[in-house]
Amino acid sequence: MYLKIKRLLDFILALVLLVVFSPLMILIAIAIKLDDGGKVLYKQSRMGKGLKPFYMYKFRTMRTDRKELESTLTHKDMVTRVGKFLRATSLDELPQFINILKGEMSFIGPRPWIVDYYELFTEKQKHRCDVLPGLSGLAQVKGRNGIDIFKKIEYDLEYVHNASLKLDLKIFFLSIVAAIRKSNAEISEMGIKKELNELKNVNSLEKEHVIQ
């Protein structure tokens, strides 16, 4: 019952915030264009509720020529000047209000990850997709990228089994604190590859053990 009410609250709040933040979002779009002339929005396929992929939106923070420079520049150096500010303030996440309006995301829930993760998940781990993914979740306020991949999944599953208004409000206020502290906010492509390797190795061993 709560999840149905939550969807209505998400829609109303996302609509209000889009209106309120629209002047700022326009200014951000202009700043990105003036910085390097590239696209304003960045979209990437992420896994949604019920294991259905969707495109998650962000303001673009990486250089347009990043693919050509991957071998010579670090991940940090490929972030634009405007992008560094957007990431530091989490303003690059504002376009996800659109995802929330479309019913693809919620304000609170497990963060939507790239599809590559789910190809390595166990059946139990896939249950993190039983609810809508969120702008912030329990794993984000418990350590964000400072905890390992399995701890993140553990917290996400804990949220799935205990979702409530009280828990959502707690995560909401703790998310504000986490955003101010800015600790462990980002994960590099190298960090993602490391997590994928950990998932592959550990889950493969568990599957072999079950078969035996």
pLDDT at 72 (0 to 100): 66
Token pair in block for residue 84? 């560094």
- For the chain, the first-to-last Cα distance in angstroms comes to 42
What are the E-state strand segments in the chain?
A: 41-47, 53-59, 106-108, 134-136
Q: How far apart are CA 110 and CA 181, in angstroms?
A: 20
pLDDT at 50 (0 to 100): 95
pLDDT at 190 (0 to 100): 78
Q: How far apart are CA 10 and CA 12, in angstroms?
A: 6
Beta carbons within 8 Å of 142's beta carbon, 6+ residues apart: 151, 155
Q: How far apart are CA 26 and CA 109, in angstroms?
A: 27
Could you say which DSSP state residue 66 is in?
Answer: H
Rounded average pLDDT per 10-residue block, the chain, 212 residues: 88 96 97 92 95 96 74 72 90 96 97 92 94 94 85 95 94 86 68 85 62 44
pLDDT at 158 (0 to 100): 96
